[in-house]
Structure 1
Amino acid sequence: MNFVQPIRDPNDIEAIKQYLKLRSLRNYLFFCIGIYSGLRVSDLLSLKVWMVRGKTRIDIVEKKNKNRKNFVIHPSIKEDLDRYIKNMKDDDYLFPSRQIKMKSKLSKQPIDRSTAYRMLNDAAQQFGLQEIGTHTMRKTWGYFLYRQNHLNLALLMEAFGHSDPTITLRYIGITQDMMDAAILQLNY
């Protein structure tokens, strides 16, 4: 299993957002909700239109740990989100696949996590980013929350379900940043 990294540069985040928006509003919103919510990909894929239509917050029970999570829909994407769901039905998945599932023969199912992975990696490659995966959005969310206010460590531990601060710092890439900075300061 590869260890993926957060996106550390706000310019890269903005570039990926614009790249995705030009290609697919669905993929753009998937990425944006991911980096503004800290949800796991499995939870992003389970979102339905009724959960966001006419709302400023999303309330969800996380699949992995059954914890309730309630978070603000970031104002910067609200207009695009409203336009995106305008002609969708309330019970539609927010991020539907355009394909019919081969095994189940079902249509209007959410995109597969492998599709999400490819979408994120394709965008990352355009900007020379490596070690990007489906957890990158969640790690990016945590990374920037921590960088903006170190007091959020306890909140991040709770959000990620971690019992130790060192696990959280390693997960969001802060430990690697600190190691890199320390090595760069070496002077023999």
Structure 2
Amino acid sequence: MAEIIKFNNFNSCINITKVDKSRFKVKEELLLPATDKVEIELAQDHTSEPIKDINTINNISKYLIANKRYRDNMFFIVGINFGLRVSDLLKLRFVNLINEDNTFKTTFPVLEQKTKNTRKKKKNRYITINEAVMDAVLLYLEHFPSHLDDYMFKSESNRTGGRNVPLTRKSADRILKNIASELNLKEKVSTHTLRKTFAYHQMVMSNNDPRKLLLLQKMFGHSSAAQTLDYIGITGEEIEMAYKSLNLGINNNYLVNSQIRSDKNVSDLA
């Protein structure tokens, strides 16, 4: 039952918040706790998700910079702007991005490891360097001057003895998961999150242009556009919206956003 709040100048006003809440909670006397153990078989969900909110992305970068974690910030920014698999990302050296005269390249080629091993014809992927990447790289170099042949994401482990050794995939995954924990992110985060974030925002930026989808499909080496949509999480959003938008049988709203008016008789619709 919706609560009615009385005002001096009005007869009554429905508390919409309580109405909304009441629709999603069943009264305790109507549904008792389970008495048997129920096992539901489910497929394993994706272990990672894209970061869809721009403010969250900005907050992650600000947090890392504020804590002087310049390498981790560079790793995060480069990862979400290049869309490379982590195996290729960790192999990047400054010489991939920067010329011998210390100017940034416009683009550079990458022979992706996975496609190199699976495709008959080897083909480079060309990466364009944007301003966000340049800013993150310069910020790191200002605090940690390096050599052109240094790995960009060098391990800081004592076991490396200061040698030019890149982060391992396991270490990179741990860094991202720690960031998610420290900032209480709702997303499931792993190294795949970087690549998925890149793809998700490419689609959003293009207003879901089918040509962009085909480009991402080709870029990621997926067998279908549906696989690409599923990978970056857009399909899940659309499926959820489809369920929420279809409200068959509600008295005053048979089809949300349809041309069928709620005050017609059902017989008239036959």
C-alpha distance in 1, partners of 2:177/2:186?
8
C-alpha distance in 1, partners of 2:57/2:198?
11
The match for 2:108 among 28, 47, 58 is 58
The match for 1:89 among 147, 158, 173 is 147
- Matching of residues 112-127 of structure 1 within 5 Å: 112-125=168-181, 126-127=183-184
Q: After alignment, is 169-178 or 45-54 more displaced? A: 45-54
**1:45 alignment counterpart:** 90
Question: CA offsets, 1:30-49, max 9 Å, x none?
Answer: 11111111101111100011
Give the partner amino acid of 2:135.
E
Matched, 1:13 2:57: yes
SS of the residue aligned with 2:113?
coil
Give the partner amino acid of 1:32.
I
**How does the TM-score come out when normalised to structure 1?**
0.89
Give the partner amino acid of 1:129.
K
C-alpha distance in 2, partners of 1:75/1:7?
20
**1:135 alignment counterpart:** 192
Q: How far is the alpha carbon of 1:79 from its aligned partner? A: 3.3
Check conservation: 1:99, 1:107, Cα contact below 8 A: no
Question: CA offsets, 1:148-186, max 9 Å, x none?
Answer: 222301100011101211101100101101011112223
Check conservation: 1:100, 1:108, Cα contact below 8 A: no
Give the helix-richer structure, 1 or 2. 1
C-alpha distance in 2, partners of 1:83/1:10?
21
Seen in structure 2, the aligned counterparts of structure 1 residues 130 and 79 have a Cα distance that, compared at 3 Å, is closer
Question: CA offsets, 1:82-125, max 9 Å, x none?
Answer: 342362112111100012557xx883210111111111112222
Give the partner amino acid of 2:82.
S
C-alpha distance in 2, partners of 1:123/1:183?
33
Check conservation: 1:98, 1:108, Cα contact below 8 A: no
Give the partner amino acid of 1:3.
T
**More contact order relative to length (CA 8 Å, sep ≥ 6):** 1
Residue ranges of structure 2 left out of the alignment (5+ in a row): 1-43, 117-122, 251-270
C-alpha distance in 1, partners of 2:197/2:241?
19
Matched, 1:70 2:154: no
CA RMSD of aligned residues (A): 2.0
- Matching of residues 130-169 of structure 1 within 5 Å: 130-149=187-206, 150=209, 151-169=211-229
SS of the residue aligned with 1:34?
helix
Check conservation: 2:50, 2:194, Cα contact below 8 A: yes
Matched, 1:177 2:237: yes
C-alpha distance in 1, partners of 2:184/2:128?
28
SS of the residue aligned with 2:125?
strand
Residue ranges of structure 1 left out of the alignment (5+ in a row): none
**What is the number of equivalent residue pairs in this alignment?**
186
Bigger radius of gyration: 2
